[in-house]
Structure formats: C-alpha cells, structure tokens
C-alpha cells in the first residue's frame, strides 16, 4: 500500500470495498484531525488475501510479508482506542496515531437493507470526548472518497448525543448500480471526527423489455441491458432455481423448453369396395399441436447482489404444418420393415390404383410429420381391390336351442374364379365377417359339389339374438350373403332372488333380464311343488311383489322403570323384544321366449318384520287401563330417561309398545317407576330462645324417593350449617312429619344459624336457613338503694355480654329501658302525705280576717319495691335479676292552703286570711225635719249589714315530693261590728266638715239660723269599709217664727208635726189647728 510518504492514521474500522477510496485523518499541528485521502489501489485492502508464493509454503501476513505480525491489523489503538493498527511495512505494524481523548470517537458500521434505490446507514458513537457531541450524523457522496461537510457530500445532522449510542439513517432515491461512500461523524467543542469511509454499491435495476419468442423452433428469451449490471440470471416457470446467463448476455436459449407434438391418427383402407383401386382415408387425428407455454423472469447482478425480478414473459416452441405420406406393405403382412412410400400419396384421402388387381390384400399406414415435432405413424389397416365374387344366400336356421342352432346356406353363383371356401359367420352384431364377428364365430370348409351347405353352430348364448351370414371365398375376395336372424331359447332366469325379510309388507322376487325373453312365469308354494304344471302366473317384468306372503310376528319383551334411582328422571329400559320373520315361501321363475320356455329357477324368501320401533307409554293414573296410556314424547328408544316424570316423586306407570311395519304391535306388561326425589324440609322460626337453649322445629313435607335414611337439624355460629356442625338426628323418615328439638348448651348473646336436613341415596338436602340470637345472661350484682335518697331508688348491676339494653321493672310495671348499667328510679313510690290527722278550723267571728289552724297529718314511709332487671338483645330478654329498694323518708316541709280554689304556700299550721269583708248599707238621712229654731235635726233610716261571704278552705302538707292530699273543706268568714255614723256638713255641697256627731239621730246645734247646709253621714263599723249616706239639706228656722221647725203655715191652716216636740217657741196661736203644743220642752235627743 502506498501511503505517499506519510504514516496515515486510520479510524477504527476495516476497509470495506477493494479498490475503493478510503478516508483517513491525521492530526494537524494543534492535535485536530484533518481529512486525507489515499488510493487503496488494485485489490489490496486490509482484508485482502496476499500472495504467499514467496513465503516458501508459509501463509502471508496481513501486510503481505512472511513474518508474523505483533499486532492485529485494524485493531483499535491509541490512548482512547480512537486510532487503528496499520501496516508500517510488509512485516511490521504500528498504531496510526495518538488521537486526543478530547475529540469524539465515531465508527462507520456496515450498511444494511441494500436495494437498487435505498440503503440503511449505521454508525456508533464510541467516545464522547471532553464534551458530549452537539451534532452527529452521516456524510454521503457518490464522487468523493471521503465525504465530509465540505465539497459535494450530503450530510445529515441528527443533533446532540448525550451518551454513547448507535444511530441509523434510511436513504432513499439513490441511483441504481452506483457506488457510494459514507462516513459517520460526530462534532463536539474540540473537533469534528469522521469514522472510516464505508463504500457500498446499490443493486442494479430490474431488467425491462423481457420478451420470450413464440412460434419458433428454438425458444429464445431477450431483454434490455441494465446499466451497471455485471451479469444476469433467469428463472423458468415455477422453479425456485435461478440460472446464470453466460457471458452476461441479454438473451437466453431455453433448450429444455417443451417440444410440440402431433395428435394420434387413425385410418381406413377399403376392402373390395372398388375394382380399380383401394381407397385410403384418414379418420381422426394427425393435427400439429404447439408446445406448452413457459413463463420466464430475469434479474440483473452486480457485485452487491441481484436486483428484483423482472415482470414475467411467456413463450413457447412453434410447430410447422402437418405433412402426410401413405405407405403400403410389400406383401399381405403387417411387418414394419416391409412398408414403402406410395408415389404422390400426400393427401388425407388417396386412391391406390397400384394395389394388386387380383384382390390380394395389402396393409396401409399413414406417416404424419411437422417441423419441430417428431413424426408419427398410424396403425396399419388391410385393404384390397374388388374381383368377380361368388353369390351366396343365407337360409333360415333350424334346430334352435339355448346354445346351438343349424345354419344353412346356398350358392347362387360360385364366382370367377370359382369359390374354394364356404362357411358361416354368426354374431350378436349385424353383418358379421371373418375378421369381425363380435359375440360369435366363423366356420369355413372347402367347397364341394353341392349348392347347399350347413353348419352346426355351438356355444351360443341362451336368449340371444344372432345374425348369421353364409360366405364364400374366391381368390382373395370373400363375399357374404345377407343376415338371417335367429333367437336362442331364453336362458333360465339368473339370480332369482326372493327377499329374506327385506320388506315387511311383501316378499319381492327379482331376477335378471333374460335375453330374447318375451315374458316370465312365476309360481310359489308354502310346502313343496308337485309335478303338475299349475300355478304359473305370466309376467313381463323381472320382479314380483308377493304381498300375500305370511306376515311377521313380534314378541314384546319386558320393560323396567327405576324407582327413585335418579332425582332428575326415571330410567326406563326395555329388552327382549323380538321380531320374528314371516314363514318361508318357495318361488319358481322361468323365462318365456319365441322358441319356448326355459327350465325354472327358484329361491326362497320371507317377509321381514321391519325395524323394530319402540314407543314408551305412560299414565299418572294408578288405575288407568293400558289403552288409555299417553305417548311419552321423544321416548322411542329401548333406554330412555323420563325427565317429565313427576318431580315430587309420584309413581308413574309405564309400558313399552313395540311396533314394526308389517307386524301387529304388541305391548309389554305395565311397570311402575318414579323419580328419585330429595326430601323436602321447611324450618320454622326458632322459638323459646333463652340464653342457652332454643326450640328448633320444622316439617319434612316430602320424605324423598327413596325415603330419607336420616333427618334432623344442624346449627352453627357460621352460616349454612352442615352435617359437620352440631346436629340432632331424628332417624329415618318414612312419612311427612313435623319435628322439634330443644338445643341446649348454647352460648348467650350469640347468633346461631339453623338448617334442617334430610339424607337419602341422592344426597343430603337442607332446608331454608333460620338464624336466631340467644338472649343474654341475666345481669349480675344488681343493687337497689334502700332509703338512701328521698328522690329516687338507685339501681346498678354488672353488664351482660351481648346485651344491647336493659329493661327495668318495678314489681310488674315496666319502668324504663336503658343501655347503661345503672338507673335512678325517680318513679318509685315516695313518702306518702295523707289527709289523716288534719283538724282544720276556720273562724267565723273575727271582723278583720279569718283565722285558720290545723294539726299535722300522718306521714306514711315509702314502701319497699321489688326490682327486676332483664338484659335485652335482638333475641329477647334474659331471666331477671332481682333486688329490693325504697326511697328515703321525706318529712313535711310546709303546707299549702286552698282558698277558694287557689293554693298558697304556708309555712306553719296557722294562717290569717283577709277574707272578704261583710256588706254595709249606710241607710238614708234627713236633715232639718222638723224645723227647729234651736238646731237642725238630723235623722237616719237605720243602716243595715250583711254577713261576709263564706270562704271554703282546704289544707295539704308538702314535702320534698310535693303536696299531699288535701283535707276536707272547712268554711270560714269575717263578721262585722256595730255601725257608727259620723255626720258631715257642708256649706257649699262640696267641702264637708266633720260635726263630731256619732249618733244616728242627732241635732246640729251649731248651725246658723236660716243657713241651708248640706249634710251626709259616714257610716263605719269594724270589719267593713265605711260608706257615705246620701246628702240632704237642712237649716234652722227663725226661732220666733211660726214657720219654725215645728210648724208650717199652710193654706189649709196650721200644720203641726206630730213628732215635733213642742218647744217653748211654739206659740199656741200658731198651732191652733194642730192641737195643743206640749207645755214641757223635749229632750234635745
């Protein structure tokens, strides 16, 4: 390798394509690589095989020398394995450089998926350098040996790489058969590094214009040359093999292509038809057939491989026009070497006028040839010319039997030359000849002097129509008389067959058609035939149906039905049914023909019973007759599972009806069966639940079929108890019954699940599940306080496990439900306050109040109560815990007094009530009547009083619990003292002054004469409210006037007040009309 006086540095990859340009780099003065190019030259590369002839039999090394190398050429080297071991001389290798580790390291890897227009490139970053690459990719060129970012190379940038990795790129739209060079590259802050240059050659394009020849003697395939192709391959038909085309030619001769052919040919030569020639005729075949078509595909090759196959092209060998040549044998013998061509005989129809005129026979054949195909010959056929033939007549045959007949003939002209042979041909075909008498034969003998001749034909077939002809031969010509038809006596019917049970309604007798038979006769017997010719029936058909043959009979067999074997069905089984064929009958058959009747053939036969058919019948009525049974649907086999049987296990009656066409149906005896039934149970609600016991009861409504071998109840603290749980068995169950069981030793406040069970041979069935909760245990340590508190009785106890609440009874009275373990019964009977002992007294003689007094009543201590406490859960209540207690004694703390329906609190046993006062009517006053000169007389209509309203009183004691019962009602009221008036006087009728006059009748001596005063009186009395009387006016009279207070001068005279006391001022003359005035003055009151 020339390195142009430099030690080139190579990247770590081998050279790829011999003879290509390879890219290298060498460090510049700053340590950066710079691209260089060198020509590898010829076929020398790092992977080249060197000539070792100069090494005296030893192998040459990778550098071409004979000494072993210390390094492997192409191995990575340098401080970061970024350099490569290269050849320094023939026998020495060294590292290509000392590339800095700061630069990135990259490898160009082999390409993949190479095609005519695309490729996948591969690279690998093997060193990040001092900084991760900021870009990487590939540079590709078809002109530069070292593609780079400069020049005409195409470079793609895939961006930065943060870690060592492989990378790839798919290139499309390349040129076919073109050599490209690619280098992977990576760039970081230090440098751009390129991998080794890898060259690749794209595949050539697929060949075009592929043409295969048609209708030529040689099959040639040609195509247009493909640029860059170094050779071609062709594939023929469906073969998987590609064949190399020699010398890279663009055509190919397929010497193995199928050859054309000529179809088989048949001929005919006339036989005495013409006197002057033998007529030769082609009958069939002789056509030239082209060869089979063949398909071809072509692909182009270069150093990289093969292109895609071309589109297919089809071709075939041609065949020329068919040529014909008639040949004739030299003698009357078919010998292959004895044929020669007939002059001018090249048409399909030819007259051989050179045939022997004596009528001697010759053999002829036709040779067919065509260009490109092998010649063929027809089979030979004998022919001859016509001479003066004898004339013979065929006479009627005689003595015809099944296999023989006597044939008769007669000469009408012995011919020229005279006939030398005479005989007969007979055949089943018309116009038999010595060379063609199918189904017959020919017999000949020398002629004699008799004009008639006969022959006994043997070996004839019975019932066969034969055609017989007399013949005579003179020279080489044989002439025949006309056909005479004879029919042998028919043969006895062959293959007479009477059916053996094939049909159930008849016996069918059949036989073969007998040739020449015009009909048949048949007879039969159930015993044996006698010698008489009787009982024959004539038929024209070759079969006979004897519907009168004895019919078949049936045996019903026996039936069985399972009883409780299965819960889903009744198993029905039938066996022993027999179908007995009808009695055997013997049949004779003979054929009838024009010549008579054949001997009879015979066979025996009988009616069959047909295929047994079964039908199960049933009834659910225990007394029904079999004639009323119903058909069981789809039950037509011997064994049947009746899934419609009553699901409750009720008995069903069955019978099997056996039938067969041609026989009378029979029925088996009636059998009974039933479905197996699991028992049926119902579990009632659990009752009488205590803390440790519960009463479990239920009903077994169906004991099953078979009946239950055991039944009972099972219980468990987990759902769905089974026989593995706690159970109680009641033994066998033979009839529906109710059951009960008291389960004991249960855990209090625990949920149990209960199911009844029953077991029979079908398994164990469980009832519905019932769950229950045991009641809790009674509370313990129940304590009731006794007199501790006057307000309540305090209860406390120890909790019962599982209890959700507690109910408390005082005696038989439900007091309360609680969820705690204590309770204060404020409803316990408290201290009783009675009314006994009250001595309530109410005063009636006091004017300012009613005085009340009483004595304390009797106090009854609280009674002792019996308390019961039950623990409660969802199941109910426990038994009772019992204790006694009572409230403390509550003393009297005061009283309440009921005054006219209103209660007031009173602290002591006495009370003063300001009851309603008495009623006072002050009366009516009169002033100044009669008039008096000394005073104004004041008089009163007496004031009246009424007793005060009576007030009802009750008293009751009060303690901490409240008031007790009230005493009986006692009435009291206030009284009133004596009324006392107090006179008032007013000058103006408004302002009054006391007069200090306190008697009902008074005199106002302080009144001024003749002054009119207004008077009133304020009447008061102890125990009442004072009240004013009415007002009245009065005055003093002039003491010296007769108009004084004691007299009034009226028109009628003098009036004198009879109550008015005579005063000393009463003059007699003023009172003349009234009587005498008193002489003594009255007391002023």
* Phi, psi dihedral angles at 54 (to 5 degrees): -85, 0
Give the 3-state secondary structure of residue 560.
strand
Q: pLDDT at position 1077, please?
A: 46
pLDDT computed for residue 1036 by the predictor: 86
And the tokens for 1039?
Answer: 């003491």
Q: Are residues 220 and 177 in the same domain?
A: no
Low-confidence winner among 206-220, 770-784, 951-965, 1048-1062 (lowest mean pLDDT)? 1048-1062
Tell me the mean pLDDT in the region 711-737.
95
Whether the CA torsion 682, 684, 685, 690 is positive or negative: it is negative
Percentage of residues in the chain having pLDDT higher than 70: 90
What is the rounded CA–CA span in Å between residue 284 and residue 572?
Answer: 74
The whole-number pLDDT of residue 509 equals: 96
Q: Are residues 521 and 664 in the same domain?
A: yes
Examine the fold and report which residue of 673, 689, 709 is the final residue of a domain before the chain moves on.
673
pLDDT of the residue at 52: 62
Q: DSSP code of 948?
A: P
Question: Exposed, middle or buried by CB within 10 Å (0-12, 13-18, 19+), for 271?
Answer: buried
Residue 442: partners with Cβ closer than 8 Å, 6 or more residues away: 423, 424, 425, 426, 432, 433, 434, 471
Nearest C-alpha neighbor of 1 from the set 38, 55, 36, 31: 38
Question: Residues near 698 by Cβ (< 8 Å), separated by ≥ 6?
Answer: 681, 682, 683, 684, 713, 738, 739, 740, 756, 767
The reply to whether 302 and 427 lie within a common domain is no
pLDDT of residue 40: 30
Domain end among 744, 773, 802: 773
pLDDT at 1038: 64
Indicate the pLDDT class of residue 1070, thresholds 50, 70 and 90.
very low
Q: What is the pLDDT of residues 844-887, one digit of tens each?
A: 989 889 999 999 999 999 999 999 999 999 888 899 999 999 99
Q: Which of 971, 829, 866, 853 is nearest to 912 (CA)?
A: 853
User: If you compute the radius of gyration of the chain from its CA atoms, what whole number of angstroms results?
Assistant: 80
- Quick one: 802 and 828 in the same domain? yes
Query: Do 390 and 398 touch, CB atoms closer than 8 A?
Result: no
DSSP string, 578-625: EEEPPPPEEEEEEEEETTEEPPPEEEEEB----S-EEEEEEES-TT--
Reported confidence tier of residue 67, pLDDT bands at 50, 70, 90 = confident
The residue whose two tokens read 């030690």 is 7
Q: What would the mean pLDDT of 269-297 be, rounded to a whole number? A: 89
Residue 1049 lies in a domain: no
Q: Please give the structure tokens belonging to residue 949.
A: 């309203």
Domain carrying residue 733: 680-773
* Residue 1050 forms part of a structural domain: no
In the prediction, which pLDDT does 558 show?
96
Percent of all residues in the chain with a pLDDT value above 90, rounded to a whole number: 64
pLDDT, position 1028 = 93
Tens-digit pLDDT profile for residues 156-179: 999 999 999 999 999 999 999 999
Whether residues 313 and 447 share a domain: the answer is no
**pLDDT tens digit sequence for 472-485:** 988 667 899 999 99
CATH of the domain at 792: 2.60.40.10
Cα–Cα distance between 50 and 35 in angstroms, integer?
Answer: 28
Strand-strand pairing, 925-927 and 936-940: antiparallel
Q: Which residues on neighbouring strands pair with residue 405, listed in sequence order?
A: 457
523 & 563 share domain: yes
Please report whether residue 1057 resides in a domain.
no
Kindly give, in sequence order, each residue whose CB lies less than 8 Å from that of residue 110, ignoring residues fewer than 6 positions away.
Answer: 16, 122, 198
**293 in the same domain as 169:** no
| Max mean pLDDT range (232-236, 257-261, 272-276) | 232-236
The CA–CA distances, whole Å, from 996 to 243, 825, 1017 equal 178, 73, 11
Count of alpha carbons within 13 angstroms of residue 566, beta-carbon side: 13
- Give the residue from 447, 412, 417, 441 showing the smallest Cα distance to 429: 441
Per-residue model confidence as pLDDT tens digits over 758-778: 999 889 999 999 999 999 999
pLDDT at residue 416 in the model = 64
Q: Quick one: CA dihedral 780, 781, 785, 786, positive or negative?
A: positive
Q: Would you state the structure tokens that stand for residue 1077, as one six-digit string?
A: 């005035």
Distances (CA, A) of 14 to 45, 73, 198, 575, 1047: 8, 9, 9, 93, 185
> Cα(906)–Cα(338) distance, rounded to whole angstroms?
180
Q: Is the residue at 296 inside a domain?
A: yes
Exposure string (b/e) for 81-104, b if CB count within 10 Å is 16 or more?
ebbbbbbbeeeebebbbebbbbbb
Angle at 487 between CA 485 and CA 491, to 5 degrees: 160
Residue 1036 covered by a domain: no
Enumerate residues 6+ apart whose C-beta is below 8 A from 453: 408, 409, 410, 422, 445, 447, 470
Closest CA to 1084 of 980, 924, 933: 933
The answer on 456 and 400 residing in a single domain is: yes
Identify the domain boundary among 172, 201, 230.
201
pLDDT in tens, 1002-1013: 999 999 888 999
The domain total for the chain is 6
Please indicate whether residue 610 or residue 293 has the higher confidence score (pLDDT): 293
Q: Which of 577-586, 899-908, 922-931, 1063-1072 is the least confident region?
A: 1063-1072
| pLDDT per position as a tens digit, 125-134 | 999 888 999 9
For 435, left (φ over 0), alpha (ψ -120 to 50), or beta? alpha
482/612 same-domain check? no
Q: Are 85 and 96 in contact (CB under 8 A)?
A: yes
pLDDT, tens only, 296-318: 999 999 999 999 999 999 988 88
Nearest C-alpha neighbor of 145 from the set 75, 41, 73, 48:
41
User: 634-669 burial string, b = 16+ CB within 10 Å, else e?
Assistant: ebeebebebeebeeebebbbbbbbbbbebbeebbbe
pTM more than 0.85: no
- Give the whole-angstrom CA distance, residue 332 versus residue 360: 7
DSSP state of 337: G
**Looking at residues 820-825, what average pLDDT do you find?**
96
Number of helical (H) and strand (E) elements in the chain, helices listed first = 0, 95
> CB of 202 within 8 A of CB of 119?
yes
Query: 370 and 407 share a domain?
Result: no
3-state secondary structure of 470: strand
- Say which range, 361-365, 523-527, 659-663, 792-796, has the weakest mean pLDDT: 659-663
Residue 41 above 90 pLDDT?
Answer: no
pLDDT tens digits for range 413-448 = 887 667 889 999 999 999 999 999 999 999 999 999
CB atoms within 10 A of CB 123: 25
Task: Return the closest-CA partner of residue 189 out of 271, 119, 130.
Answer: 130
Q: What is the rounded distance in angstroms from the CA atom of residue 761 to the CA atom of residue 766? A: 14
Which residues are CB-contacts of 892 (< 8 A; sequence separation ≥ 6)?
A: 833, 856, 857, 859, 957, 958, 959
Higher-scoring residue by pLDDT: 34, 776: 776
Q: How confident is the model at residue 1039 (pLDDT cuts 50, 70, 90)?
A: low
807 part of a folded domain: yes
**DSSP E strand stretches across 78-152:** 83-89, 92-95, 105-112, 119-127, 135-141
For residue 170, the cross-strand partners are 120
What is residue 112's three-state secondary structure?
Answer: strand
Among all chains, which residue has been given the structure tokens 């019919």? 551
As a 3-state breakdown, the chain gives helix, strand, coil percent values, each rounded to 5, of 0, 45, 55
Give pLDDT tens digits for 530-577: 878 888 999 999 999 999 999 889 999 999 999 888 889 999 999 999
Same domain for 629 and 569: yes
Q: Please tell me the distance from the alpha carbon of residue 606 to that of residue 626, in angstroms, as a whole number.
A: 32
Mean of the per-residue pLDDT values of the chain: 86
Same-domain check for residues 815 and 763: no
729 within a domain of the structure (yes/no): yes
Residue 1017 lies in a domain: no
Above 50 in pLDDT, residue 693? yes
Answer with the residue of higher pLDDT: 1060 or 675. Answer: 675
Tokens describing residue 271: 């036989």
What pLDDT score was predicted for residue 871?
Answer: 95
The answer, yes or no, to whether residue 799 has pLDDT greater than 90, is: yes
- Residue 45: pLDDT above 80? no
**Residue 337: is the preceding peptide bond cis (ω within 30°)?**
no
1061/289: higher pLDDT: 289
- At a CB cut-off of 8 Å and minimum separation 6, what does 519 contact? 538, 539, 540, 591, 592
């Amino acid at each position: 390798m020339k390195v142009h006086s430099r030690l080139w540095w190579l990247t770590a990859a081998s050279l790829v394509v011999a003879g290509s340009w390879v890219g290298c780099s060498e460090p510049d003065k700053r340590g950066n690589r710079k691209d260089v190019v060198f020509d590898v030259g010829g076929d020398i590369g790092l992977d080249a095989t060197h000539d070792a002839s100069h090494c005296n039999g030893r192998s040459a090394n990778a550098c071409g020398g004979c000494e072993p190398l210390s390094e492997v050429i192409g191995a990575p080297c340098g401080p970061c394995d970024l350099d490569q071991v290269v050849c320094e001389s023939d026998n020495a290798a060294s590292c290509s450089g000392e590339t800095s580790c700061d630069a990135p390291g990259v490898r160009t890897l082999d390409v993949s998926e190479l095609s005519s227009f695309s490729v996948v490139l591969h690279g690998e970053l093997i060193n990040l350098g001092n900084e991760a690459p900021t870009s990487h990719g590939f540079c590709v060129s078809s002109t530069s040996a070292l593609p780079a970012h400069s020049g005409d190379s195409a470079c793609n940038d895939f961006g930065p790489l943060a870690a060592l990795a492989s990378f790839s790129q798919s290139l499309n739209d390349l040129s076919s058969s073109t050599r490209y060079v690619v280098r992977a590259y990576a760039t970081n802050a230090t440098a751009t590094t390129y991998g080794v240059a890898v060259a690749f050659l794209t595949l050539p394009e697929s060949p075009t214009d592929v043409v295969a020849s048609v209708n030529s003697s040689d099959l040639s395939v040609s195509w247009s040359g493909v640029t860059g192709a170094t050779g071609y391959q062709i594939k023929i038909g469906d073969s998987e093999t590609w064949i190399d085309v020699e010398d890279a030619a663009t055509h190919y001769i397929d010497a193995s292509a199928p050859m054309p052919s000529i179809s088989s040919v048949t001929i005919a030569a006339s036989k005495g038809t013409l006197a002057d020639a033998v007529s030769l005729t082609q009958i069939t075949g002789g056509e030239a057939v082209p060869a089979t078509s063949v398909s071809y595909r072509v692909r182009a090759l270069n150093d990289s491989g093969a292109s895609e196959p071309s589109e297919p092209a089809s071709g075939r060998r041609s065949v020329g026009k068919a040529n014909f040549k008639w040949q004739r044998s030299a003698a009357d013998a078919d010998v292959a070497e004895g044929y020669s061509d007939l002059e001018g005989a090249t048409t399909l129809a030819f007259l051989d006028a050179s045939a022997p005129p004596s009528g001697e026979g010759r053999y002829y054949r036709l040779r067919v040839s065509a260009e490109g195909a092998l010649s063929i010959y027809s089979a030979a056929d004998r022919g001859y010319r016509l001479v003066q033939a004898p004339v013979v007549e065929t006479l009627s045959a005689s003595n015809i039997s099944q296999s023989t007949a006597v044939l008769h003939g007669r000469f009408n002209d012995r011919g020229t030359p005279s006939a030398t042979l005479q005989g007969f041909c007979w055949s089943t075909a018309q116009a038999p000849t010595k060379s063609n008498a199918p189904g017959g034969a020919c017999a000949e003998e020398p002629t004699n002097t008799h004009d008639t001749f006969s022959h006994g034909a043997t070996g004839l077939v019975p019932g066969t129509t034969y055609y017989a002809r007399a013949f005579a031969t003179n020279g080489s010509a044989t002439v025949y008389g006309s056909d005479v038809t004879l029919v042998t006596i028919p043969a006895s019917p062959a293959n007479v067959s009477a059916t053996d049970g094939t049909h159930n309604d008849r016996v069918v007798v059949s036989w073969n058609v007998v040739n020449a038979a015009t009909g048949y006769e048949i007879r039969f017997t159930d015993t044996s035939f006698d010698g008489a010719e009787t009982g024959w029936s004539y038929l024209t058909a070759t079969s006979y149906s004897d519907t009168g043959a004895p019919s078949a009979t049936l045996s019903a067999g026996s039936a069985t039905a399972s009883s409780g074997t299965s819960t889903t069905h009744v198993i029905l089984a039938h066996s022993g049914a027999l179908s007995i064929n009808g009695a055997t009958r013997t049949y004779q058959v003979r054929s009838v023909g024009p010549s008579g009747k054949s001997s009879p053939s015979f066979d025996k036969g009988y009616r069959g019973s047909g295929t047994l058919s079964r039908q199960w019948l049933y009834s659910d009525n225990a007394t029904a007759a079999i004639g009323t049974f119903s058909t069981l649907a789809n039950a037509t086999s011997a064994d049947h599972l009746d899934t419609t049987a009553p699901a409750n296990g009720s008995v069903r009656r069955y019978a099997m009806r056996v039938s067969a066409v041609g026989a009378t149906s029979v029925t088996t005896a009636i059998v009974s069966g039933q479905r197996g039934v699991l028992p049926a149970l119902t579990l009632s609600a659990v009752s009488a639940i205590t803390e440790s016991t519960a009463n479990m009861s239920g009903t077994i409504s169906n004991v099953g079929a078979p009946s239950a071998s055991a039944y009972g109840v099972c219980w468990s603290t987990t759902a769905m108890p089974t026989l593995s749980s706690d159970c109680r068995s009641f033994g066998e169950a033979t009839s529906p019954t109710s059951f009960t069981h008291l389960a004991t030793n249960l855990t209090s406040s625990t949920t149990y699940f209960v199911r009844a069970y029953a077991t029979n041979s079908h398994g164990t069935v469980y009832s519905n599940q019932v769950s229950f909760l045991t009641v809790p245990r009674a509370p313990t340590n129940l304590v009731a306080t006794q007199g501790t508190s006057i307000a309540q009785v305090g209860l406390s106890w120890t909790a019962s496990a599982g209890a959700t609440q507690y109910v408390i009874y005082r005696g038989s009275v439900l007091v309360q439900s609680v969820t705690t373990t204590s309770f204060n019964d404020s409803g316990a009977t408290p201290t009783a306050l009675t009314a006994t002992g009250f001595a309530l007294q109410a005063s009636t003689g006091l004017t300012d109040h009613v005085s009340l007094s009483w004595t304390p009543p009797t106090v009854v201590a609280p009674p002792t109560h019996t308390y019961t406490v039950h623990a409660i859960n969802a199941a109910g209540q426990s038994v009772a815990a019992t204790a006694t207690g009572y409230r403390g004694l509550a003393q009297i703390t005061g009283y309440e007094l009921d005054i006219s329906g209103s209660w007031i609190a009173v602290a002591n046993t006495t009370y003063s009530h300001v009851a309603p006062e008495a009623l006072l009517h002050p009366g009516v006053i009169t002033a100044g009547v009669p008039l008096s000169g000394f005073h104004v007389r004041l008089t009163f209509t007496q004031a009246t009083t009424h007793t005060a309203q009576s007030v009802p009183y009750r008293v009751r004691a009060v303690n901490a619990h409240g008031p007790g019962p009230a005493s009986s009602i006692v009435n009291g009221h206030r009284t009133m003292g004596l009324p006392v008036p107090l006179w008032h006087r007013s000058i103006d009728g408004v302002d009054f002054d006391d007069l200090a006059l306190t008697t009902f009748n008074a005199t106002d001596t302080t009144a001024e004469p003749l002054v009119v005063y207004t008077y009133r009186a304020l009447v008061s009395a102890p125990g009442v409210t004072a009240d004013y009387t009415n007002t009245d006016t009065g005055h003093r009279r002039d003491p010296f006037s007769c108009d004084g207070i004691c007299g009034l001068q009226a028109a009628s005279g003098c009036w004198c007040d009879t109550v008015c006391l005579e005063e000393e001022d009463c003059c007699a003359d003023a009172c003349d009309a009234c009587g005498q005035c008193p002489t003594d003055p009255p007391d002023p009151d």
